[in-house]
Structure 1
Amino acid sequence: MNFKQYFYLFAVIVFSFSSCSEDENLENSPESKIYNIAGKVEKGPFIGGSTITIQPMNENLQVVGHVYSSTIQDNLGNFSFGSKSFEAPYAELIANGYFFNETNGQLSSSTLNLHTLVDLSDDTTVNINLFTHLKYQRIQKLIADGMEFKEANKQAQQELFTAFGLQKYVEKDASTISIADGTDESAALIAISSLLLINRDEAAFTEYLAQLSKEFSDKGFFEENTKQQINEDKQAILYRLSSIKDYLIGHYKKYGLEIEVKELVRYLDWDNDGTAGNETLQEGQEVKLEKTELNVPNEGGTYTIGISSPIPVYLNEITTENAFTNNIYENIENTDISIEKSLNEDKLILIISPLQSKTAKSTTIQICDCLDNVLGEIKIIQEGNKNASIPKLGETGKQLVTEFTSNIAQGFAELNLIEQYYHYNVETDLVNQYINVSNNTIENIWNNFYRANYIIMRFKDAEAEQLNVYQDYFNVFSVPCSIII
């Protein structure tokens, strides 16, 4: 074999190895895939012109390929990147812009950044919201610790939703939830988004989100001081949830879209038991009471009333306050029905003390949820004690009698003075002169008698609500006062 033959043989062998290597590389290299990427950016919805970028990544969240930029198309947060070719299905999206503030019904005064990490192979409809933003750093942390994207995303979502008591909605990925969907998940998103924004301007909100994201990324839950802040924010937002709902519906209607928003109160964990929505009755649920009225003898007693409820219930006794009721009597502190109340599983236990009043009294105990929504009422009527002794007046009682008699005395003094002027000067003009010069004399007389009558009637009503032992005395004074007035 000559040199030329050796050369050709060597070239064929090299080419064969080279071809095999190239074929192997082609088999192992990822194939690009076309993704048609669109979605929404929502806090409240970002407004048109806000910017959004998408950065392709590999399974380790390392940047690959080019960054693509776009703008939000309308005031409802919609965006689209069109068809893009990515070597891997993973991507980071970042939105920056002004947004509709659902807590006050106005556009934000400054911009906000929101992030999300997604696997486009699952769904190319990608929404960016508070849920995706809060779990963004947690996903990064879990992948850095060796977890695959799918499992990291699943764990971060589970942890985040659990932190807010929303475990029942964890199966729907945050990047597929929109506040305009009218679903339970969208109501949960609205509730949490509003909770974190309430009573904060955009600068404070941005700072708060950064704190929450960092804290959650490290541990997958929130610290106790953060939980305390969240609880305080719940109280601040409680009576504004209805207006938040109305603001959002109105905003979307302004741009031609009718949306449904469920009752937001059901998507916050009010009693901090780890589950949102179990504190209020759902549609079709009710609380049943074994009794709604209880008649009690004067000596009182212990009573048990069965309660059937699908949710935790609490007690609230209706009381009426009167400025005249304190210290009417000497050495008697309590003249109302006195009840020790307790809830033991499905039973209401009442220990009722003897009643000091001469006449029967009543009170009402309300069964409520943790938000003070009344679920049922029990009226308690206790017999009076006709043989109750008459106590001495206390400090308030003495003061009221003094004010009453002082006003009566002053009124009669003014009235007697006019009568004397009339008697001795009936044929002169002095009576008219006196009244004209002292032109508020008649007004003073009227005011004194009116004030006396007001005091005695209020005092009479207040005493009737308590021991009801001085009514005959009040009647002696109240009738003449009414006649004078």
Structure 2
Amino acid sequence: MKLKKYFYLSTALIFALYSCSDDEEAGKGFTPKVFHVMGKVEKGPMIRGSHVEMRTLDEYMVPTGNSYTATIDNNLGDFNYGALKIDSPYAKLTADGYFFNEVGGELSEGTIKLDAIVDLKDNSSINVNVLTHLKSKRIHHLVTTEGMVFKEANAQAQKELLTQFGLQKYASKDASQFSITSGDDASGALIAISSLVLTDKSDAEIVEFLSILNNEFGTEGAFSQETKKKIQSGKNYLNQRLDIISENIKNRYQELGLEVKVKDLAYYFDWDNDGIAGNELDESESVILSSKELNVPAKGGEYTIIVKSDKPYYLNPPSFDSDTDLEELPQNNITEEHFFSSLYEENTNIPSPKIELDKTINNNIITIKVTPAHFKEDLSTTITVYNARGKVAAVIAVKQEGDKNYWGKHDPVRLGKNGISFVLGIQETMRNAVSGQLHLQSSYIHQENFKNPVPYYPYDDRIGKTWDYYYNAINRWLTLKDVDASMLNCYQSFINTHLALAYYQLSSRWSGVPFIMGHPTDPFISIPRTDEAEILSRLENMLIDAMNGLDEHHYDAFQDANSMLFVSKNVARILLAYVYCNQKKFDKALPLLEEVIRKGDYHLEYSQATEYKNNAECILGYYIQTRNGEQCHPCLDYKDVMLTAAECLYHTGNTPKAKKYINQICEHKKLTVGQSDILKAIASLHYQINSPSYMNFIRRNGLGESFMGLSQGNLYQLLWPIPSSELDRNSQMTQNPGY
């Protein structure tokens, strides 16, 4: 105890002597000086008219009472206080205004605040940016709580912050001197971190995320594991957009009369999470392999290929790998393999031809095992090698001789007796799910007093039944998918399209849901929900792959089980377009919808607005038994296709053509809408025709308040509650906000 006491006394004495010997560093006894304070605010650049407030601080980071205000006088973000006689060298600058979003390539719709705490003795030309903002609270904490002087606190905060992003080698230069326009490593680091803050967020979400980062880093000097996962997700989102970000920055500054260079941004992200950004990438995106082609005999074989690099390489894009294995929900688990003795029509028991192989990579050594050929003609396939960023670095061509004594056929075969019965059962289940969903939507949107609507509750039996119908259909499709894969493997593209439809409907109404593509070994296992963005990304991949196995034909699901199963390429096109719309990738959705319109397989009918029949407008629907007889309840409808195309045209800047489609709907359905606000005109038509996509359109376009009349506090109702029955049986499931 005495030793500890002497140690504390000694430490206190040393600190006192140090403080007395360096009053200038601590700010004590500072003689007021004239500083010419100027700089710029870069989140892209903050735009003309934004404000920058400066308050002087004492050595303890307490405001001295003096403050100064400047206005950004151009779109480069420049501000200038002019000559000021300052009573303390320390100052906190706060910029508040609109900014250029380098990820989206457009000006923000909301404002943002960015801080910087600086020592004017070191530099009175200051760049306020995301880095200075994230440092500010940490500097304040280290000075006020840890007892550091400003210089030490600033240096420590600088190193800690850049280390969080693997950019610690750039920590010697103060963040207040980092600039987007400098074209150096500091510029690359600033753009990378600034872009991570933006990713695919709204302006409000950007402010919220900055606050989370600021609070966590301010007290701990590091981010939480949850936040690090969000940053990792942000890297994945930005991965394919780095060139676009560079071009957005160059184009913006070029518009402002300034030529800016941007370094290769890929080197400023820590793709493999080893704590150092850029060290995992070769200078070239391509890599040399010991062999780029395998010629395999019909009997198969095992082969080894070496990746000639000391950097890590992968056989799946690492940026898109999931941390969890997806498994099936426990309810409605079907084990009916015995039922499929006549899945296919008679005399069709030959597998579809493809090269079967297993591939692994370990320490950049690729091992490929090719099984014997189950096909007659020679076939070829490819194996892709990716770098740590997920870019294609090399492609291996695999060619295998066919077994000349083996006969097979490529086209999918028709269903047999039991297959027909099983598919009709799925059709009935999907019919109940779609019917339930449409009735729920209709009941909600047609309430008389919509400004105070009554939300659905988790224990509402209609919510639970609709949810269960969808998952029952999914489980049945997965059963059929597994059996087909073990036999002829000829229905996969069709089944995947039907699965994508069910998951699209689920995610549209409930956001994140359990995403299952296989049967669990444990029937009682609980499955967590998958984020909606991840579901949409997987559906995108599923549908792109499925389209390769689908053909062009007028799809009519009402004729028989075979016509219901064998969806056309148009069905996958439309679903993929809807997925893109929910991802707000309207430029990708539009060509798909325009292709459906151009092909002319479907067209508008002159009929009542809410009349749905199995006619030229019906692309995919189900017969529903009602009190008035059978009706066709739509799933994919041509009116909906045209309205969604108009939505995409609006978002991509082609308003005249959007109005053309709106007018066509109005003409054929004898409807009238105002067109001063295109989105609201489209919303009105969705509403008037009782479109199955109405709620999806409202949610992704943010029209819950302005069109539907929901209060801010009731916007959560744009999604439905997770059924209480699902929460009871699935311990890992969570409820949607607001319920």
- 1:217 is aligned to 218
Range 183-192 or range 331-340, more displaced = 331-340
- Alignment-mate amino acid for residue 70 of structure 1: A
Query: Offset of 1:127 from its aligned partner?
Result: 0.7
Unaligned runs of 5+ residues in structure 2 are 1-22, 318-342, 417-552, 554-739
- 2:272 is aligned to 271
Cα gap change, 1:375 to 1:239, in 2 (>3 Å)? closer
- 1:466 is aligned to none
- Alignment-mate amino acid for residue 289 of structure 1: L
- 1:162 is aligned to 163
- Alignment-mate amino acid for residue 396 of structure 1: P
CA distance in 2, matches of 1:331, 1:132: 67
1:168-194, Cα deviation, whole Å (9 max, x unpaired): 322221110111111222122122222
- 1:69 is aligned to 69
CA distance in 1, matches of 2:379, 2:410: 22
Aligned pairs for 1:336-415 (under 5 A) are 336-388=354-406, 390=407, 396-397=412-413
1:203-247, Cα deviation, whole Å (9 max, x unpaired): 332222112111111211111221222233333333443333222
Q: Would the aligned equivalents of 2:352 and 2:410 in 1 still touch at CA under 8 Å?
A: no
CA distance in 1, matches of 2:390, 2:352: 26
Query: Offset of 1:41 from its aligned partner?
Result: 0.7
CA distance in 1, matches of 2:71, 2:55: 15
- 1:287 is aligned to 287
Query: Offset of 1:287 from its aligned partner?
Result: 1.6
CA distance in 2, matches of 1:376, 1:204: 38
| Residue aligned with 2:163, SS | helix
Aligned pairs for 1:316-331 (under 5 A) are none
Aligned pairs for 1:166-315 (under 5 A) are 166-282=167-283, 286-315=286-315
1:331-359, Cα deviation, whole Å (9 max, x unpaired): 55574222221111131112222222233
1:340-389, Cα deviation, whole Å (9 max, x unpaired): 2111113111222222223332222121124442212222222333344x
| Residue aligned with 1:34, SS | strand
- 2:110 is aligned to 110
- 2:426 is aligned to none
Query: Offset of 1:309 from its aligned partner?
Result: 2.1
- 1:132 is aligned to 132
CA distance in 2, matches of 1:148, 1:331: 80
Q: Would the aligned equivalents of 2:45 and 2:76 in 1 still touch at CA under 8 Å?
A: yes
1:270-323, Cα deviation, whole Å (9 max, x unpaired): 33333332454325x752211112222322222221111243211159xxxxxx
- 1:93 is aligned to 93
Cα gap change, 1:167 to 1:70, in 2 (>3 Å)? same
CA distance in 2, matches of 1:295, 1:208: 52
Cα gap change, 1:98 to 1:359, in 2 (>3 Å)? closer
- Alignment-mate amino acid for residue 113 of structure 2: N
- 2:684 is aligned to none
- 1:52 is aligned to 52
- Alignment-mate amino acid for residue 190 of structure 1: I
Cα gap change, 1:136 to 1:341, in 2 (>3 Å)? same
Range 255-264 or range 122-131, more displaced = 255-264
CA distance in 2, matches of 1:255, 1:394: 58
Q: Would the aligned equivalents of 2:312 and 2:363 in 1 still touch at CA under 8 Å?
A: no
Range 116-125 or range 262-271, more displaced = 262-271
Cα gap change, 1:85 to 1:199, in 2 (>3 Å)? same
Query: Offset of 1:250 from its aligned partner?
Result: 2.0
CA distance in 1, matches of 2:410, 2:298: 24
Aligned pairs for 1:431-450 (under 5 A) are none
CA distance in 2, matches of 1:316, 1:96: 43
Cα gap change, 1:294 to 1:240, in 2 (>3 Å)? closer
CA distance in 2, matches of 1:334, 1:156: 61
TM-score by length of 2: 0.46
Cα gap change, 1:364 to 1:192, in 2 (>3 Å)? same
CA distance in 1, matches of 2:152, 2:401: 67
CA distance in 1, matches of 2:239, 2:414: 45
TM-score by length of 1: 0.68
Query: Offset of 1:140 from its aligned partner?
Result: 0.9
- Alignment-mate amino acid for residue 127 of structure 2: N
Q: Among the aligned pairs, what percent are the same residue?
A: 43
| Residue aligned with 1:251, SS | helix
- Alignment-mate amino acid for residue 71 of structure 1: T
Q: Would the aligned equivalents of 2:312 and 2:364 in 1 still touch at CA under 8 Å?
A: no
Q: Would the aligned equivalents of 2:351 and 2:374 in 1 still touch at CA under 8 Å?
A: no
Cα gap change, 1:202 to 1:294, in 2 (>3 Å)? closer
Q: Would the aligned equivalents of 1:327 and 1:333 in 2 still touch at CA under 8 Å?
A: no
Q: Would the aligned equivalents of 2:42 and 2:180 in 1 still touch at CA under 8 Å?
A: yes
1:73-93, Cα deviation, whole Å (9 max, x unpaired): 211011122233334422211
Query: Offset of 1:125 from its aligned partner?
Result: 1.8
| Residue aligned with 1:308, SS | coil
1:55-108, Cα deviation, whole Å (9 max, x unpaired): 222322123362222222211011122233334422211112222222333332
Alignment of 1:33 with 2:33, yes or no, is: yes
Query: Offset of 1:136 from its aligned partner?
Result: 0.8
Cα gap change, 1:339 to 1:395, in 2 (>3 Å)? closer
CA distance in 2, matches of 1:160, 1:29: 31
| Residue aligned with 1:118, SS | strand
CA distance in 2, matches of 1:234, 1:48: 30
| Residue aligned with 2:236, SS | helix
1:146-181, Cα deviation, whole Å (9 max, x unpaired): 122122112211221122222232222111011111
Cα gap change, 1:252 to 1:327, in 2 (>3 Å)? farther
| Residue aligned with 2:127, SS | coil
- Alignment-mate amino acid for residue 291 of structure 1: S
Cα gap change, 1:286 to 1:237, in 2 (>3 Å)? closer
- Alignment-mate amino acid for residue 219 of structure 2: D
| Residue aligned with 2:180, SS | coil
Unaligned runs of 5+ residues in structure 1 are 1-24, 318-325, 401-446, 448-485
- Alignment-mate amino acid for residue 275 of structure 1: I
